[in-house]
Amino acid sequence: MDAPSQKKPRQARLWGALAQLWPYIWPSRRADLRRRIFASLTLLVFAKIATVAVPYAFKWATDALTQIHDGAIPTAAIFAGPAALTLLYASLRIVMAALTQARDALFAAVAMNAVRRLAVDVFAHVHALSMRFHLERKTGALTRVLERGRNAIETFSRMVMLNALPTALEFILILAVMLFQFDWRYAAITLATIAAYLAYTAAATNWRIGIRRSMNESDSDANAKAIDSLLNYETVKYFGAEKRETERYDRSMARYERNSVKSYVSLAVLNFGQAFIFTVGMAAIMVLCVSGISKGRNSIGDFVMLNTMLIQLYQPLNFMGMLYREIKQALIDIEMMFELLHQPNEIAEAPNAPALVVAGGSLRFENVHFHYDPAREILRGVDFVVPAGKTLAIVGASGAGKSTISRLIFRFFDPQQGRITIDGQDIAKVSLESLRASLGMAPQDNVLFNDTIRYNILYGRPDAGEEAMRAAASLARIERFIESAPGGFDAQVGERGLKLSGGEKQRVAMARTFLKAPPILVLDEATSALDTLTEREIQAALETASRGRTTIVIAHRLSTVVNADEILVLDKGVVVERGHHQDLLARDGAYAALWRRQLQGEEERASPDTAEQQFTLDAEAESFSRDLDDAILRASEI
């Protein structure tokens, strides 16, 4: 009872995917592509007429040769009869091939336009989805859905136009020939063979669908694990986990191997059953013709014609089996792609949302509550105001909610309670494009595109000129490094910027933000990957860049925020203190405790006693290691 109830929704979703795919296959706004579709259909009809005419030419040539052999016509007439009919046979095959290839070439633009339009729509939608969606999905599996969906659209559109319609037309023409050239028995056997063939194909394919789905899932899993491991190449090396990663990948590939073997075995069963059904049907028709020849109702040419026509029928029949399998699988892949396309966006833009108008850039949080999971609240009633052109620093222990504030400002998430405004405008009610165009971000973890330094800096403002780009690089204190690098601004940075050091990568990312020159700037641990000397240089650059801009500094090292106009101390999602650096020290509260802890840490790192203690600990560890090695050696000798 359960199986049918589960199957019906799946079938309904498949037909729903087909209905959604139709606007992409039939381009209502492209008259040139619609003309191509009509031209393709015309060529299709003529190609199939030529296909059915080929066996007739073969029959006429065979009957003519039989008459010469029997002496019914003189041998001298061979070139006027059979040879000419043989040339007609060859010509029809050439015409059939030419019309078929011309049809395929004409329709290619239609199919690939559908692929492109849907792929671009899905790609744009995936970029528009919320950060929560991307945090919960594996990038490797997501790209496989896009890849298989893109291939499925091409497969489906080409299969329907280039195989399904031609095959259906050929079936009709062949049945008409069987009925009118011979008699109803030939048509009945042909129709029964086609019906049995298609019924068996459908049943076997439905059986194989589950196997193919498991194979695709294991393929996606193996691909996701490979991408995840390669993206974390350095981490794998740090922990010497190559063997562990290989074994993990091998387990996924072993599952893929088992499912692939099942798929090939099931395909062999399907192909044998199809060949058996067709051969039985063809034998029945040929025996019927032999009986007709013995009774004088049919000629040798009829026997040859039937054989040729049935062999020609086998190819589209075989395509029909493949067609059913491929369309069934393609619809599953397309369905997954449409599920992705219709994935609801958690951060929806209000209808006809106005553009954000930034006059000064005053930023305000009003009683903001936020959680990723209801069981753990991150921000609890956060209130603050950053006046236009001023700098606000947010400090606190890890997990206090500092970085969450930056995500809320960019509207990667919406608060469950409260609101965020810029110059009095609720950011949830303005267009996302205008909001993010007004914000600049220098994050702690900077990821660059696998392209040139020039491309990565210009990403902040693609229409910027050479002079502006160089000025941004100079402000980020990286122009000298770029000029000394092979290729200069055209040097490749590698995947995620791995060809650059952490500091170089961070400064390229800063140059990108500086080039954007937004009215509101967010700095999230922006100097965390830099050495002390470079940090001081960049800190000076950041102070220069933030002049006249509303700036939010999220910092771990308190020495970087002493000049902020106001400092917020965040603890477990609540603002516990606020004020200027000196005022907060004078209060001797949470901020003063953080300040003393950092000063103590810096002093310990610089203390000779600490170095001596560390040397002693290292010596003791080395001695223990030697004793352990000696014990293992003695044990092995025993």
Q: Are strands 363-373 and 376-386 parallel, antiparallel or unpaired?
A: antiparallel
Domain spanning 13-341, CATH class: mainly alpha
- Domain map of the chain by residue range? 13-341, 359-438+546-600, 439-517, 607-638
**In terms of Cα–Cα distance, which of 201, 125, 181, 119 is closest to 152?**
119
How much is the pLDDT for 638? 39
Q: Are strands 566-571 and 391-396 parallel, antiparallel or unpaired?
A: parallel
Is residue 9 over pLDDT 60? no
**Among the four given CATH numbers 3.30.360.10, 3.40.640.10, 3.90.850.10, 3.40.50.300, the one describing domain 439-517:** 3.40.50.300
Average pLDDT, the chain: 78
Is residue 323 over pLDDT 80? no
How much is the pLDDT for 327? 75
CA dihedral in degrees (543, 549, 550, 553; nearest 10)?
-20
**Residues 492 and 499: beta-carbon distance below 8 Å:** yes
How much is the pLDDT for 71? 52
Mean pLDDT of 462-475: 85
**In terms of Cα–Cα distance, which of 114, 129, 116, 122 is closest to 143?**
122
Domain spanning 359-438+546-600, CATH class: alpha beta
- Mapping DSSP to helix (H, G, I), strand (E, B) and coil, where does residue 498 land? coil
Whether the predicted model's global pTM rises above the 0.85 cut: no
Strands (E) in 193-238, as ranges, are none
Same-fold call for 359-438+546-600 versus 439-517: yes
Per residue in 146-199, pLDDT (tens digit) is: 777 777 777 777 777 667 778 778 888 888 888 888 888 888 888 898 889 888
How much is the pLDDT for 365? 92
In the block, tokens 């995500």 appear at 407
- What one-letter code names the amino acid at 284? A
**In terms of Cα–Cα distance, which of 214, 218, 226 is closest to 140?**
226
DSSP state, residue 550: E
**In terms of Cα–Cα distance, which of 351, 329, 338 is closest to 121?**
338
Phi, psi for 29 (deg, rounded to 5): -100, 5
Q: How would residue 17 be classed by pLDDT, with cut points 50, 70 and 90?
A: low
Selected residue with higher pLDDT from 134 and 570? 570
Is residue 121 over pLDDT 60? yes
In sequence order, which ranges of 450-526 are alpha helices (DSSP H)? 453-458, 466-475, 479-484, 502-516
